[in-house]
Amino acid sequence: MKRYKTIMLLQTKNAVIYGAGGSLGGAVARALASAGAKVFLTGKKLNSIKSLEKDILASGGNVEIAEVDAMDEQAINDHLTKIIGRNGTVDISFNAIGWQDTQDTPLVEMTLADFIRPVNIAMQTQFLTATAAGRAMIKQKSGVILSLTATPGGIGYPKVGGFGPACCAVESFSRDLASELGVHGIRVINIRSAGSPDSRPFVEALRNGGDQVKDFITKLEEDTMLKKLPMMADIANVAAFLASDLAGKITGVTIDVTSGTTAGLNYKVPMIPFR
């Protein structure tokens, strides 16, 4: 398991994570717990987050779990009410549920249902969880709301179906929400990843696809400026930093952790030998 920074940046903070059973949601939960936050893990089914709960407890972290459907407004509100009632505040909200996207199909060959599904899921869950957190944070005059997108949020990308537009929509929503909540002392930030080779989808694809998937990952690495993809710990450590007071003046932006994929075409420049 990857190591996460152990600087206690988030002591006394309460963090709710939606979709904690996913690989990146779990990585962020571990990082926040390692930084001192009490993490409230949620999943549509408890079985998806029980092993993560054990891992965090074994590492000395403070954790609670709950079955919450992050597409259900009442369930989200009830869960936050319980957290605040028992703990006083909700300081960090992070949504990483899956969007059920269909990829590897050209847009002109895709059905409307497959295209629109990730857009609908992404916007519904982000709106419900972020605005619920925002209402709670307005009362306490502080808080951080985080979201997660990927490379297609920053550049045109082929064969990603509705996932690309969904990323763009989440990034726009994050900016707009930040513009409204900033006056209340609340920061809203999106994190953009390039895909992590150690995340569950990549690991499973490598197990089933062999050399073809390895070639695909190599191509993704070659498309970055740094010639390497961010690992889950890289994304998680950025999330912990953004949730902390060290990032206290960062809001209304997408923090790009794509190793330079979305920054321009410089990554096409061949490496120049040092002389």
3-state secondary structure the chain: CCCCCCCCCCCCCEEEEECCCCHHHHHHHHHHHHCCCEEEEEECCCHHHHHHHHHHHHCCCEEEEEECCCCCHHHHHHHHHHHHHHHCCCCEEEECCCCCCCCCCCHHHCCHHHHHHHHHHHHHHHHHHHHHHHHHHHHHCCEEEEEEEEHHHCCCCCCCCCHHHHHHHHHHHHHHHHHHHHHHCEEEEEEEECCCCCCHHHHHHHHHHCHHHHHHHHHHHHCCCCCCCCCHHHHHHHHHHHHCHHHCCCCCCEEEECCCCCCCCHHHCCCCCCC
Output the pLDDT for position 271: 59
Give the pLDDT score at 195: 83
* Residues near 115 by beta carbon (within 8 Å), at least 6 away in sequence: 102, 107, 161, 162
**Residue 30 · residue 22 · CB < 8 Å:** no
Residue spans per domain, the chain: 14-195+230-259
Please give the model's pTM, rounded to 2 decimal places: 0.91
CA nearest neighbour of 98 among 175, 150, 60: 150
The CATH number that domain 14-195+230-259 falls under is: 3.40.50.720
pLDDT averages per 10-residue partition of the chain, 275 residues: 64 97 95 97 94 96 97 98 98 97 94 98 98 98 97 91 98 98 98 88 75 79 87 96 97 95 59 59
pLDDT tens-digit profile of 225-265?
A: 888 999 999 999 999 999 999 999 999 999 999 998 876 55
- Residue 269: per-residue pLDDT: 54
Residue with tokens 């998937």: 213
pLDDT of residue 148: 97
